[in-house]
Structure formats: structure tokens, C-alpha cells
Structure 1
Amino acid sequence: MERIGLRELAEDGVLLTSRALAAGWHPRRLSRALRAEGWTQLQNGTWIEPGRSPDLITRLRAAQLVRPRLVVSHRSAAALWRIETLAPAAEGPLECTDPSLTLRRGGAGVRVHRIPIAATEVVERQGLRVTVPGRTLIDLLRDGPRDDAIVAVDSALAYRTVGRVRRAPFMRLDSITAALEVPSRGTVRALEWLALCDPRAGSPAETIARLRMYDAGLHPESQAEVHTPDGCRLFVDFLFRAAGLAVEIEGYAYHGTRDSHRRDIARFNQLHQCPGIRRLLRYSAEDVFHRPAHMIGEIRSVLATLTAREERHALAGLAQRLAAGGG
């Protein structure tokens, strides 16, 4: 009897040992063939075909083949929808949900959430059963951590280029608020975090910069409108309007290309001409993620300097008016 080839038994490049054995392969022959042909073992009982990378989609497909009732959710689902999170989904454990609430373990490298999911909240994407964007965001808001959840919501609410693919917003902020009206574990905290989200944020770095300022008691305007002397309208990432301090988060690695980085520099020069901006601070994404204390300390220092300067000017102006009146 001729055995079916291993590639024929694989599904989208993933082979289950159980499927090969059911097709008539002897365990010892199977083991030798897998090694000889160069198959890569993902976990016990799952292999990927030679030449295929163990990327996120392949690993998720293997997890669902072993446990078909699992639904891709949380950060793994966000990655499939091109919704940004702080930690790349490929670097951590796969995240899936068991709607039947029975599974406690999903195998090596798979984190299983046991939460009810409505049939309308699951769709097929890239051959995988995955939570829809709205449900994905709700799960992240309810489970946390805070920064990761808010980065994801900000990303989903805006036009973004993720993995060199431009995509449109998935929903509005009020739609997420309405979805959270159904009581569940973590809903109160999720609503508190949702209040910190801002669809005007342009990148994860901007979101984290805003949160670091918020945590420090600083509340600038986001994407504030300013004008150059010739009437050109510009938007600055953050503006402390009373003090005239603008804060920009930049860096070509987060803006896309070197050309867009050069355009940003030209825009910075225009911002310096705006009458409402007395000082402009620029921070890279590396500053935001790795040196936030330095960023906050510098912003506080400049705000104090600008405020003191304005007070001196105001006192000087008052003294001049008093002197003129007295004369």
C-alpha cells in the first residue's frame, strides 16, 4: 500500500502527526521522514513543511488545527487586523480564546483565555477563526495592560500604515463605548482606560508620550492647530498653548521613510515661525519608550522657564503702564 506523502497530508504547510499516523504512516518511519525531508517541529504533534517560516499565521494555524474550537484573540487578533500594539504579537505567546470555557492550556507558547464569544464576533481571516476588531479591542481593554490596550485602540481608530500597508479606521470611539455597556469582568477599568484614548494620535510613540505626560499631571492639547504668519495651517503633536510650548514626536523609523522624515524637518521649520509657539521640543520614539523621565523632566523645566518669562513680561508691562499713568 502506497502511503500518502507528508506534504499532501499537511494543511497550509502544517502537518499533524496524528493525521500522518491515521493515513498509515508508522511512527518510526514518520520520524525518519520528517527529519530527512527537513520538517520543523513547532510543538508536540505539529510540524511545518520545509522552506516555510514559523511566522505568526503558521503558528496560529497549527494551534487551531490541534484545538479547532480556539479563536484567535487579543494581541494575536490585533496583529492579523494590522492593529498596532506595544509588543509585536510574534514575540510573545499566541493568544486565543476558548468560547466553550473548558480548555485551560493550548499547548506550548499558546495562552488560552476562557471568555464567552458570540458567533457574530468571530470571522474567518487568512484561513483562521479570529475575533472581529471591535471584540479584539474590548478584550484588550478588559485584560490590559493599560498602555498596550490604549495603543491598540488609538491605532484602530485612525488611518495607519502597518507593515507597509495603509488601512482605514475600523470604528469610532463611541462604538467601543457602546460595546462596553454590557457588564463583564474588567468593564469599569476598561471604560476608565477608554477615556484616555485619542483617535488623533499618529503612532504608538505619540500615544505613549501622551500617557507619560498624563501620568505626570501634564495635559497638553493633542494635534493642536496653529498658523504660520502667512496663514498656513499646521498641526503640532502636543501644545501647551498658554506657555507656547510645542512637543513633537519624530523619527524616520516611525514615520515610514527618509523622505517623510525630511518632510517632517521642513514642517518643524515652519512650526518655529508660528506666533503661538515660543519653544519647540522634539523627541524620538526611542526617547519616549526608553527615556521618558528625561522627556518629562525637560518639558517641566521648559514650561517653568516659559511661565516665568511670561510673568516677568507681564510685570514689566504693568510697571510701564503705571509709570505712564503716573506721569
Structure 2
Amino acid sequence: MRKGVYLPPVQEDGIAARHRAETLRQIRAVDVRLDVDHWFSHTSAAVLHGCWTWRLTDVVHLTQLRPPNLEQSRDRMLRRHWTDLPVRDRTEVSGVPVTTLERTVVDCARILRPAQGLVVADSALRGGADPALIDEILRECAGRRGVVRAREVLGLSDVRAESPGESILRWIVHDEGLPAPRPGLDVDTERGTFWVDLAWPEWKVAVEFDGAVKYSGGAYGDPSARVVAEKARQDALEEAGWIVIRVVWRDLDDAAGTAGRIRRALWSRARP
């Protein structure tokens, strides 16, 4: 049985960190009281593997090899899935039985809203998930509920994503019918080379996602210095002829408005 690979910790805001801690507590509590073979799966497995997540419920998911009985199905905070889970898709993280990273990616993409599924998939790829194995598992799920959605989501997954916000933003761009951006691009300017989150280099349009944690200090350095550096970076990109659109968390709740800002910038550069 292959051991799980725990991803490097992601910088989270207070709400996300508290949700992750509470989910892990619930998983541990469920694990010690179950007397049937089980593997934590879906969003619970994503948390155990250390994947990025976004706006998940508190329901604990697990997969078992036989159907749950009536009594087992009554717990609304515990969702039991049953299937013939291949040994290939079983592992453990810190002694807790869990589905493998690749199986977890497919399961999440099948049941979550697309943006949520893409957040998990992007971070799993960054954590070393095998794309070929993900594709194999997805093929084996042909005809099952949520597979069509999963194919669309996983077709967009990209190891270059650097944060949950970027993943959500890429889904918005896709869902709103905009041209596909390039995730992560080094842009040369007279002040140096700067990395942009999403780019349409043929039109010199970039989108930057600004999570509040970027200016929270700690590993990110002095917040005031960070603001000054970001301003200098923005100036350098604009002097090099780039349109830079900045997006924050609240903008992700207005998909149409955010897409409209990007569309107008692209249109301004596409016109003769």
C-alpha cells in the first residue's frame, strides 16, 4: 500500500485554518469509533492530504466496501460512499486510512462545484499527484454520476497554479467563455523580470490575484514593504505596456463582473 504524500502547508486565512483544524478533529473522532474497513475520501481525503480547499461543508466523507445499513446512514454529518475500492487507490496519512491523492482528485471533481474541484486538483498536482493515474481513474469512472463535470474540471487543472484564488479565477475565465490564459509568466521589464499569475501575452494583459494573506506578514515579510514592492512591480509592468487587473477574494463572488473587467481589457487590445 502506497503511503500518502502530505503537501507542504498552504498559507491560509483564519477562517480556512479553523475549518481545516475542525475537519481534522472530526475525522479523527470518526476513525476511532468505526468498526468496518473504511478509507476517508472525497473532501475529507483532500484535507488529510493537505490539499487546498474552498468553502467546504463540515460533512465527513468516507468510502467503504459494502453498502451502509439503515442505522449507519442516519448520521447527516457522515457521508458513507460504497464501492469496490481498488487496493491501488488506498493509502494512509499519519496512520489514518484514506484514498490516494489521485483518487481523491477524481472523487472531489465529481461531487464538488467546478471551482471547488479545480482548487483541489491544482494543489494535488503541485503535491505530486500523477496526471496519468488521474486520467486512468477517470476513465474507469465512465458512466458514473459527475464524470462529465469531472472531465471538464480536470482538463483545466494545472500544476502552475499558486493559490486557491488563482484556481477559482481560472475557472471563472473558462466558465465565462474568455480565451484561456497562461498560468504563471515571467515578464521582462526595464526594472527587472516579474512573475504574473495569469497572462494573455499576445495582448499584454495580466491578472493578479491578491489574497489578504500576502500582506499578513510572517513568511511574506513586512506588510508595508510588501505594499511598496507590489506598487513598484505594477508600475514596471504598466511601463512595459501591460494592462494589469488586480482581483481580490470578494471579486470571486461576482464572476460576471470580474470576467467583464478582463473581457474589456482583452477587447481593448484586440481591436485594430
Please give the range of the TM-score, normalised by the shorter of the 2 chains.
0.7 to 0.9
Matched, 1:64 2:31: yes
Q: How far apart, CA to CA, are the structure 2 residues paired with 1:78 and 1:183?
A: 19
Between 1 and 2, higher relative CO (CA 8 Å, sep ≥ 6) is seen in 2
| Shift in alpha-carbon separation, 1:189–1:295, aligned structure 2, 3 A | closer
Aligned-pair Cα RMSD in Å: 2.7
Checking the alignment, whether the CA contact within 8 Å between 2:23 and 2:58 is kept in structure 1 is no
Q: How far apart, CA to CA, are the structure 2 residues paired with 1:255 and 1:139?
A: 34
2:256 aligned residue = 293
Within-5 A mapping of 1:150-299: 150-158=118-126, 169-184=127-142, 185=144, 186-219=146-179, 220-229=181-190, 232-253=192-213, 257=217, 259=221, 262-263=225-226, 266-267=229-230, 269-274=232-237, 276-288=240-252, 290-299=253-262
Checking the alignment, whether the CA contact within 8 Å between 2:63 and 2:80 is kept in structure 1 is yes
Deviations 1:103-158 (A, max 9, x none): 46162411111222123422333342211212211211233332221110101112
Q: How far apart, CA to CA, are the structure 1 residues paired with 2:132 and 2:215?
A: 28
Q: How far apart, CA to CA, are the structure 1 residues paired with 2:256 and 2:62?
A: 35
Within-5 A mapping of 1:62-141: 62-69=29-36, 70-88=38-56, 91-103=57-69, 105=73, 107-141=75-109
Q: How far apart, CA to CA, are the structure 1 residues paired with 2:155 and 2:138?
A: 12
| Shift in alpha-carbon separation, 1:117–1:57, aligned structure 2, 3 A | same
In the alignment, residue 279 of structure 1 is paired with which amino acid?
I
* Offset at residue 195 of structure 1 (A): 0.8
Counterpart secondary structure, 2:196: strand
* Structure 1: runs of 5 or more not aligned: 1-53, 159-168, 312-327
* Structure 2: runs of 5 or more not aligned: 1-20
Counterpart secondary structure, 1:287: helix
Q: How far apart, CA to CA, are the structure 2 residues paired with 1:192 and 1:146?
A: 8
1:4 aligned residue = none
Deviates more, 1:214-223 or 1:267-276: 267-276
1:302 aligned residue = 265
Counterpart secondary structure, 1:180: helix
Counterpart secondary structure, 2:260: helix
Deviations 1:237-287 (A, max 9, x none): 122223322211113325763627644752452353246543211111221
| Shift in alpha-carbon separation, 1:283–1:120, aligned structure 2, 3 A | same
Deviates more, 1:176-185 or 1:92-101: 176-185
In our comparison, the structure showing a higher alpha carbon Rg is: 1
Q: Percent identity?
A: 26
Deviates more, 1:250-259 or 1:215-224: 250-259
| Shift in alpha-carbon separation, 1:271–1:280, aligned structure 2, 3 A | same
* Offset at residue 84 of structure 1 (A): 1.3
Checking the alignment, whether the CA contact within 8 Å between 1:246 and 1:277 is kept in structure 2 is no
Q: How far apart, CA to CA, are the structure 1 residues paired with 2:222 and 2:209?
A: 14
Tell me the TM-score normalised to structure 2 length. 0.77
Counterpart secondary structure, 1:195: helix
Tell me the TM-score normalised to structure 1 length. 0.65
2:18 aligned residue = none
| Shift in alpha-carbon separation, 1:267–1:55, aligned structure 2, 3 A | closer
Checking the alignment, whether the CA contact within 8 Å between 1:248 and 1:280 is kept in structure 2 is yes
